[in-house]
């Protein structure tokens, strides 16, 4: 069976879980405590990062970009939903995936999930402890700009990279869902984002993420409500 090594609030892990689910691939999930630097895991991925996907024919795939490219390319004969055929449209999907998975992760999501959630689980001698409130403040400032950009895109598009849902929507929805779990999104000010997120969140692929809880962190009441 396909196994995904992941972290529950990690954007890239969530993006891959959504992609697997959209493609109808049932997957065994393993939470990887990266700070333990487990030897068997480092042999799979010396970069010591998640997500890592081990397919049922023992192929090891590392990172949300390579994993989703592999999954969509191996489905191209079946019409490959989530990745358009047109080369320029594919480039736009990839640009936005990089935005959510690298840029926004660096500026916002990676910092807030680390400070607010992960540091509770990590032992003090491995970098756990009290959150760095200065880092969190900067990330919250950055978040405003990223959500402004999302609003801007959605003012002219139904879905982030065009007329159909794509990997770009899953990558951004993954980031937004983690931030929403942490109560970081002021939805009242974000009507365009909210309509888009409600549509993504209503998809069956999203249900397992919304039902999951992270130890020690309670999400806001609207988190798992598709009609929030």
DSSP 208: H
Contacts from 149-153 at CB under 8 Å and sequence distance 24+? 149/99, 150/176, 150/192, 150/193, 150/196, 151/190, 151/192, 151/193, 153/96
Place of tokens 């609207």: 222
Question: Which CB, 155 or 215, lies closer to its own copies?
Answer: 155
Question: Which CB, 56 or 73, lies closer to its own copies?
Answer: 73
Q: Measured on CA atoms in the order 18, 19, 23, 27, is the torsion positive or negative?
A: negative
Question: Which CB, 70 or 187, lies closer to its own copies?
Answer: 70
User: Minimum Å distance from CB 136 to its own copies?
Assistant: 20
Question: Which CB, 85 or 221, lies closer to its own copies?
Answer: 85
Beta bridge partners of 3: 28, 54
Distance between CA atoms of 89 and 94, rounded to whole angstroms? 9
The two structure tokens encoding residue 26: 């049932």
Which helix (H) or strand (E) element contains residue 195? helix 191-201
Question: Which CB, 132 or 212, lies closer to its own copies?
Answer: 132
User: Minimum Å distance from CB 227 to its own copies?
Assistant: 31
Question: Which CB, 149 or 223, lies closer to its own copies?
Answer: 149
User: Minimum Å distance from CB 59 to its own copies?
Assistant: 5
Question: Which CB, 25 or 69, lies closer to its own copies?
Answer: 69
- DSSP line for 4-52: EEE-TT-HHHHHHHHHHHHTT--EEEEE--GGG--HHHHHH-TT--S-E
User: Minimum Å distance from CB 132 to its own copies?
Assistant: 17
User: Minimum Å distance from CB 211 to its own copies?
Assistant: 30
Q: Are 68 and 61 in contact (CB under 8 A)?
A: no
Point out which residues bind its own copies (CB under 8 A).
Answer: 46-47, 49, 59, 61-63, 65-67, 69-70, 73-74, 87-88, 90-91, 94-95, 98-99, 102-103, 106, 149
Q: How many CA atoms within 13 Å lie on the side-chain side of 112?
A: 26
User: Minimum Å distance from CB 121 to its own copies?
Assistant: 23
User: Minimum Å distance from CB 159 to its own copies?
Assistant: 18
């Amino acid at each position: 069976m396909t196994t995904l090594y992941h972290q529950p609030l990690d954007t890239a892990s969530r993006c891959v879980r959504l992609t697997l689910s959209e493609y109808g691939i049932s997957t065994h999930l393993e939470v990887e405590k990266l700070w333990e630097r487990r030897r068997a895991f480092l042999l799979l991925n010396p970069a010591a990062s998640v997500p890592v996907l081990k397919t049922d024919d023992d192929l090891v795939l590392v990172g949300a970009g390579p994993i989703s490219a592999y999954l969509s390319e191996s489905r191209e004969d079946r019409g490959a939903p989530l990745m358009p055929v047109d080369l320029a449209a594919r480039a736009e999907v990839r640009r936005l995936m990089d935005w959510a998975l690298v840029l926004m992760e660096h500026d916002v999501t990676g910092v807030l999930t680390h400070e607010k959630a992960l540091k509770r689980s990590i032992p003090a001698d491995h970098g756990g402890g009290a959150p760095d409130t200065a880092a969190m403040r900067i990330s919250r400032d950055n978040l405003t700009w990223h959500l402004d950009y999302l609003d801007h895109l959605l003012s002219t598009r139904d879905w982030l990279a065009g007329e159909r849902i794509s990997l770009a929507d899953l990558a951004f929805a993954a980031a937004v869902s983690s931030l929403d779990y942490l109560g970081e999104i002021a939805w009242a000010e974000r009507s365009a984002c909210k309509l888009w997120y409600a549509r993504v969140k209503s998809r069956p692929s999203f249900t397992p993420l919304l039902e999951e809880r992270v130890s020690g962190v309670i999400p806001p009441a609207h988190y798992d409500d598709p009609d929030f």
